[in-house]
Structure 1
Amino acid sequence: MSEPAWVEHAVFWQLYPLGFVGADIDPGDRSIDRPVEHRLGRIIGWLDYAVELGVSGIALGPLFASQTHGYDTVDFFRIDPRLGDEGDFAALIGAAHERGLRVVLDGVFNHVGREFGPFERVVASGAGSGESPLRWFRLTGRGPSGDPVFENFEGHDALVALNHDEPAVADFVTHVMTYWLDRGVDGWRLDAAYAVPSAFWATVLPRVRATHPDVYIFGEVIHGDYADSVAEGTLDSLTQYELWKAIWSSISDANFFELAAALDRHNAFLSSFTPVTFVGNHDVSRLATVLDDPRHREHAHVILLTVGGTPTIYYGDEQGFTGLKEERVGGDDAIRPGFPADGHAALPADGWNTYRLHQNLIGLRRRHPWLHRAQSTTIALTNTFYVYEVRSGADSLVVALNVGDRDETFERGRGGGAFDVLAGSARVSSGGGAAATAPTDAVTVTVPAHGWAVLGA
Structure 2
Amino acid sequence: MTPWAEHAIWWHVYPLGFTGAPAAATAEPARHRLRQLENWLDYAVELGCSGLMLGPVFAAETHGYDTVDHFRIDPRLGDDSDFDRLVAAARGRGLRIVLDGVFNHVGRGFKPLVEGRRWFRRQGTDFEVFEGHRHLVKLDHEEPEVAQYVGEVLHHWLERGVSGWRFDATYAIPPEFWSRVLPAVREKHPEAWFVGEVLHGDYAAYVERSGLDTVTQYELWKAIWSSLNDANFFELSWALKRHDALLETFPPQTFIGNHDVTRLASRLDDERHFGHALALLLTVGGVPSVYYGDEQAFRGVKEEREGGDDAVRPAFPGTPGELAPYGWPTYRLHQRLIGMRRRHPWLVRARTEVLHLTNRAVAVRSYAGEDEVLTLLNVGDEPYRFPVATGGLTVIGAPVHADGGDPAVVPGHSWVVLSPR
- The amino acid across from 2:172 in the alignment is A
Secondary structure at the residue paired with 1:271? Answer: coil
Three-state SS of the structure 2 residue aligned to 1:45 is helix
Q: 1:321 to 1:444 in 2, by over 3 A?
A: closer
The C-alpha deviation readout for 1:154-173, integer Å capped at 9, x for no partner, is: 11110000010000000000
Distance 2:22 2:291 in 1: 20
Give the count of matched residue pairs: 419
In structure 2, what is the Cα distance between the partners aligned to 1:444 and 1:304?
21
What is the match of residue 133 of structure 2?
Answer: 156
Paired residue for 2:393? 419
Q: What is the distance in 2 between the residues matched to 1:49 and 1:200?
A: 38
Contact persistence 2:70–2:153 (CA under 8 A): yes
Where does 1:221-232 land on structure 2 (aligned, <5 Å)? 221-232=198-209
CA-CA distance at 1:26 after TM superposition: 2.9
In the TM superposition, what whole-angstrom CA distance separates every residue of 1:312-343 from its partner, at most 9, and x where no partner exists?
Answer: 000000000000000111100000000002x1
Runs of 5+ unmatched residues, structure 1: 123-133, 143-148, 430-434, 436-442
User: Alignment partner for residue 88 of structure 2, among 67, 77, 94?
Assistant: 94
CA contact (8 A) 1:427 1:447 kept: no
User: Which whole-Å deviations, capped at 9, do the CAs of 1:120-140 have from their partners, x for residues lacking one?
Assistant: 011xxxxxxxxxxx3101221
Normalised TM-score (structure 1): 0.90
Structure 2 residue aligned with 1:41: 35
The alignment status of 1:404 with 2:398, answered yes or no, reads: no
**Match for residue 370 of structure 1?**
346
Q: Secondary structure at the match of 1:40?
A: helix
1:235-275 Cα shifts (integer Å, max 9, x gaps): 10000000000000100111111011100000000000000
Q: State the identity %.
A: 57
Corresponding residue number in structure 1 for 2:161? 184
Is 1:14 matched up with 2:12? yes
Look up the match of 2:235: 258
Contact 2:256 2:278 in 1 (8 A): yes
Encode CA deviations 1:276-335: one digit per residue, 9 max, x unaligned: 000000000000001121111111111101100000000000000000000111100000
State the distance in 2 between where 1:185 and 1:422 align: 34
Q: 2:61 aligns with which of 67, 89, 103?
A: 67
Give the CA deviation at 1:444.
7.0
Shift of 1:116: 0.4
What is the RMSD computed on CA atoms of the aligned residues?
1.5
Q: For the Cα contact (< 8 Å) 2:395–2:407, is it kept in 1? A: no
Measured in 2, the distance between the counterparts of 1:162 and 1:324 equals 31
Contact 1:428-1:446 within 8 A present in 2 as well: no
Describe the SS at the equivalent of 1:413. Answer: coil
Alignment of 1:310-325 (within 5 A): 310-325=287-302
Query: Which residue of structure 2 lines up, in the alignment, with residue 138 of structure 1?
Result: 121
Cross-structure match for 2:367 = 391
Q: Which residue of 1 aligns with 2:331?
A: 355
CA contact (8 A) 2:48 2:338 kept: yes
Letter in 2 for 1:98: G
2 CA distance for matches of 1:167 and 1:183?
A: 25
Asked if structure 2 preserves the Cα contact closer than 8 Å seen for 1:164 and 1:200, the reply is yes
Kindly provide the CA deviation profile for residues 52-93 of structure 1, in whole angstroms up to 9, marking residues without a partner as x: 000000000000000100000001110000000000000000
Partner of 1:242: 219
* Displacement of 1:421: 1.1
**Do the aligned partners of residues 44 and 444 (structure 1) sit closer, same or farther apart at CA in structure 2, a change above 3 Å counting?**
closer
Taking structure 2 as the reference length, the TM-score comes to: 0.97
